[in-house]
Amino acid sequence: MTETAATRWKPVERHGIGGILSAVSDIVAVAGRNLLTYRRVPQLLVFSTIQPVIFVLMFRYVFGGAISVPGVRYVDYLMPGIFIQTAVFGAIGTAVGLATDLNTGFLERFRSLPMARSAVLAGRTTADLTRNVFVVSLMAAVGFAVGFRVHTGPVSFLMAIGLVLLFGYVLSWLFATVGLLAGDPESAQAAAFPVIAPLVFASSAFVPVSSMPVWLRLFAEHQPVSVTTTAVRTLVLGGSAGPEVLKALAWMAAILLVFVPLSIWRYQRTS
């Protein structure tokens, strides 16, 4: 039987150690392709850092004098929330990027290649994780410049930054699903806001949840942004970090269990 081009380039499933190495190679290749976008269009990286810097300056110098947190300086309370907010807003890039690739036909080209089925999505989320390393590091530098101080130690601070980056990576899978469902970048960005707004602003990122109405406090205390922000705060300000970190990791595991298979399922059915 003569092998057709469609058969020759049909994605194949690989098994064993060789299959794992091939999948990792595919993921690295796709991530590299996505990171090249920032080299060719550096404005994307510049504008993705301007917004978090504005939030730091605005909350530090505009709202900081009006917000009081018992027992801690507001700038020290604020910065863990800014780190998490930066990771959450950065995850929108996954939705917009995948929707753009879907709209321009790039995903169809990827689907025709002999590569791991999950490589396109894992490559995109890995590239966005790499971008978040740069952006969160910049936010830390800005935070120290405006008076933020770590009350524990360098190891705890690095653990906190690692938790922030992990949270951003986990949310990238959620927004990958949003991007694939939306189908075009404008719709993806519009669809992401109703998800982000209640998570970020109805949380403990900027103010204590004790100041909120009871009905809102019940949501704000237990949703993933608040839980992860609290874990990061305990790592940089002191306190019993272990239970809070475990709660944050449990939320992340739950999000991955739902949205990794869901996004892969949706990707396989895109046309």
pLDDT tens digits, one per residue of 52-103 = 888 888 888 887 777 888 889 999 999 999 999 999 988 888 888 888 877 7
- Do 66 and 96 touch, CB atoms closer than 8 A? no
pLDDT band at 269 (very low <50, low <70, confident <90, very high): confident
pLDDT value at residue 250: 97
Sorting pLDDT into bands at 50, 70 and 90, what band is 12? Answer: very low
At 27-53, the pLDDT tens digits run 777 777 777 776 776 666 676 778 888
Please tell me the predicted confidence (pLDDT) of residue 6: 41
Q: How confident is the model at residue 140 (pLDDT cuts 50, 70, 90)?
A: very high
The answer to whether 88 and 199 are in contact (CB under 8 A) is: yes
Q: Does 206 score more than 80 pLDDT?
A: yes
For the chain, give the percent of residues with pLDDT over 70: 83
* pLDDT reported for residue 21: 67
Q: What is the pLDDT of residue 22?
A: 67
- 134 token code pair: 């740069």
SS3 sequence of 169-230:
HHHHHHHHHHHHHHCCHHHHHHHHHHHHHHHHHCCCCCCCHHHCCHHHHHHHHHCHHHHHHH
- Which amino acid would we find at residue 206? F
Per-residue pLDDT band for 3 (boundaries 50, 70, 90) equals very low
**Residue 1 confidence (pLDDT) above 70:** no
Which pTM was predicted? 0.85
Task: Give the per-residue pLDDT at 37.
Answer: 72
